[in-house]
Structure 1
């Protein structure tokens, strides 16, 4: 999710989806497009951890979100500590989700587009750069059909 959407996220936007699991049902602030995101176990743990946080109760939000600048500063500190050369930012996480997390786990780009709340798939394709690994995997599958 985009920073601004996480910052405004409310507990009331966590609902049971069609599969009986918990989902985020919200609208993106930038596009006013519906976004439906199934919650994975690590996200549920984070939500549970902060459910009684005073800032969340006062602000009526799901998470105690810091300023974007502070979050990015912490990400830079983590990158430095881990020896990561690439600049880490909150927004980079969206790209990482759209590439590494989803593509490496065979989530179709149409599904990723819906979760990201994009107006069209072209925008998702910009985020979800096709990874060489994915191309190799897809072609190996096709190669088997020709064997």
Structure 2
């Protein structure tokens, strides 16, 4: 706010830097995603809605929960999703896969009831009130994660499934099937180095083969 001169700010380059420990990123396997897809859930249940939100995020390369919940019908045009990312304000354009179109069809009858949003979480929230929007998204994320735990139990998946795990799951299943340049575009990373470091969490075949080559005697 301009109250204090920037030179007095103690953090940043050549100043105090806080180093966070590297987090362990674990995604679901293709078989586990199929198990979630194939669950028979009551369409009126919270679990059914939660599965739709999670799968839509996964099908679109793991878009973040805030971007999913703020998605509007006007963002869906000509078979593409166009939206502005919350994290870095980048404009994104993605083809809408058939599986996403199926999920959208479930919510289309309620198009006029959710203030233009695809999903109902932000219904009635003033979009100009950023604090209110953030609070609702945080609470919705907690609720979705609660029901994802129930979904994991029903699907017999022994992993902690959260909304953010959809992003890790895309990374895990994509593995080394897609070029790092294409993954950079799908992840919307500014730097390809970020993509390489991120994807290193999920590509282990070469390391596994190297280990076997040494101890297989």
d(CA) in 1 for partners of 2:120, 2:170:
21
**Of the two structures, which has the highest relative contact order with CA contacts closer than 8 Å and spacing of 6 or more?**
2
Count of residue pairs brought into register by the alignment = 127
**Partner of residue 117, structure 1:** 188
Query: How large is the RMSD of aligned CA atoms in angstroms?
Result: 2.3
d(CA) in 1 for partners of 2:181, 2:91:
14
Answer yes or no: is the 8 Å Cα contact 2:114–2:120 preserved in 1.
Answer: no
Choose the corresponding residue for 2:88, options 31, 54, 59: 31
Write out the 4+ residue segments of structure 1 that deviate beyond 4 Å after TM superposition: none
Deviation at 1:12, TM superposition (A): 1.4
> In the TM superposition, what are the counterparts of 1:96-107 in structure 2 within 5 Å?
96-100=169-173, 102-103=174-175, 106-107=177-178
Structure 2 runs not aligned, ≥5 long = 1-62, 122-136, 208-217
Answer yes or no: is the 8 Å Cα contact 2:74–2:116 preserved in 1.
Answer: no
Deviations 1:108-147 (CA, angstroms, capped at 9, x unpaired):
23222222222222232343234234x59xxxxxxxxxxx
SS of 1:59 mapped into structure 2: coil
**Partner of residue 127, structure 1:** 198
Choose the corresponding residue for 1:5, options 67, 75, 86: 67
Q: Could you tell me the TM-score, scaled by structure 1's length?
A: 0.73
Deviation at 1:53, TM superposition (A): 2.0
Greater Rg over alpha carbons, structure: 2
SS of 1:36 mapped into structure 2: strand
User: CA 1:68/1:60 → structure 2, altered by over 3 Å: closer, same or farther?
Assistant: same
User: CA 1:75/1:92 → structure 2, altered by over 3 Å: closer, same or farther?
Assistant: same
Structure 1 runs not aligned, ≥5 long = 17-21, 137-147
